[in-house]
Structure 1
Amino acid sequence: MKKFAFIFAGQGSQNIGMGKDFYENFSAATLLLNDACNNTGIDYKELLFTQNDNLDKTEFTQPAIVLNSLMSYLAFSDFIKAKPEFSLGHSLGEFTALAVSGAFSFLDAIRLVNLRGKFMQEACMGKDAGMMVVLGLSDEVVEEICKNAQNEGLKIYAANYNCDGQIVVAGVRADLASYESKFKEAGAKRAMLLNMSVASHCPILEPASNRLAGELEGILSTDFAPVVSNVNAKIYTDKSEALVLLKEQLIKPVYYKQSIKNYESKVDCFIELGAATLKGINKKITDKPTYSVTDMASLEEVVKILEER
Structure 2
Amino acid sequence: MNIAYIFPGQGSQVTGMGKSFYENSKNAKELLESASDFCKIDFKHLLFEENEQLNKSEYTQPAIVLNSLMAYTALMEQKSDLKAIFSLGHSLGEFSALAVNGALEFLQTLVLVNKRGLFMQEDCSKLEAGMMVVLGLEDQIVENICKKAQGESKKIFAANYNCDGQIVVAGLKSDLISYENEFKKAGAKRVMLLNMSVASHCPLLENASLKLCIELEKILKPNFKAVISNANAKIYTDKEQALKLLKSQLISPVLYKQSIKNYENEIDCFVEFGSNILKGLNKKISPKETYSLTNFSDIDEFLKVIK
User: What do the CA deviations read for 1:99-128 (whole angstroms, capped 9, x no partner)?
Assistant: 000001000110000000000001001101
In structure 1, the residue corresponding to 2:218 is in which secondary structure?
coil
Counterpart in the other structure of 1:137? 137
Once residues 186 and 8 of structure 1 are traced to their aligned partners in structure 2, the CA distance between those partners, rounded to angstroms, is 33
Indicate if the aligned counterparts of 2:292 and 2:298 stay in contact, CA closer than 8 A: yes
- 1:104 matched residue in structure 2: 104
Tell me, in whole angstroms, the C-alpha distance in 2 between the residues paired with 1:181 and 1:15: 31
Cα separation, 2, equivalents of 1:192 and 1:19: 29
Q: Secondary structure at the match of 1:188?
A: coil
Instruction: State TM-score, norm by structure 1.
Output: 0.98
* Cα distance in 2, alignment partners of residues 208 and 306 from structure 1: 41
Matched, 1:7 2:9: no
Q: CA deviation at 1:130?
A: 0.3
**Post-superposition shift, 1:79?**
2.0
**Distance in 1 between residues matched to 2:216 and 2:113, nearest whole Å:** 11
> Which consecutive residues of structure 2, in runs of 5 or more, have no partner in the other structure?
none
Shift of 1:18: 0.7
The answer as to whether partners of 2:5 and 2:271 remain within 8 angstroms in 1 is yes
Task: Give the CA deviation at 1:296.
Answer: 1.7
Partner of 1:75: 74
TM superposition shift of 1:40: 1.1
Counterpart residue number, 2:273: 273
Q: Partner residue of 2:161?
A: 161
Residue 51 of structure 1 deviates from its aligned partner by 1.1
- Counterpart amino acid of 1:20? K
Tell me which moved more, 25-34 or 219-228. 25-34
In the other structure, the counterpart of 1:21 is 20
Assess if the C-alpha contact under 8 Å between 2:12 and 2:277 holds in 1: yes
Decide whether the 8 Å contact of 2:27 with 2:77 is kept in 1: no
- Alignment-derived partner of residue 54 in structure 1: 53
Q: Distance between the aligned counterparts of 2:122 and 2:221, measured in 1? A: 28
SS of corresponding position for 1:290: strand
Matched residues in 2 for 1:139 and 1:255: separation? 12
Determine whether 1:182 maps to 2:178: no
2-structure distance, mates of 1:82, 1:40: 29
CA deviations over 1:234-292 (Å, ceiling 9, x no partner):
00000000000011100000000000000000110000011111001000000001010
Query: Could you tell me how far 1:27 is from its partner in structure 2?
Result: 1.7
Asked if the contact 2:225–2:237 (Cα under 8 Å) also holds between the matched residues in 1, the reply is yes
Other-structure match for 1:32:
31
CA distance in 2 between partners of 1:37 and 1:90 (Å): 24
Q: Which amino acid aligns with 1:185?
A: K
Of all paired residues, the percent bearing the same amino acid is 62
Aligned partner of residue 199 in structure 1, secondary structure: coil
Name the aligned partner's letter for residue 281 of structure 1: L
Q: Partner residue of 1:90?
A: 90
Measure how far apart 1:164 and its partner are. Answer: 0.3
RMSD, aligned α-carbons:
0.6
Question: In structure 1, what residue type is equivalent to 2:166?
Answer: Q
Letter in 1 for 2:8: A
Mean alpha-carbon deviation: is it higher for 22-31 or for 194-203?
22-31
Residue matched to 1:202? 202
- TM-score, normalised via structure 2 length: 0.99
Listed as ranges, the gaps of 5+ residues in structure 1 are none
Measured in 2, the distance between the counterparts of 1:120 and 1:141 equals: 28
The DSSP-based 3-state class of the residue aligned with 1:104 is coil
- Residue range with higher mean Cα deviation, 131-140 or 24-33: 24-33
Following the alignment from structure 2 to structure 1, what is the Cα–Cα distance between the partners of residues 211 and 300?
Answer: 41
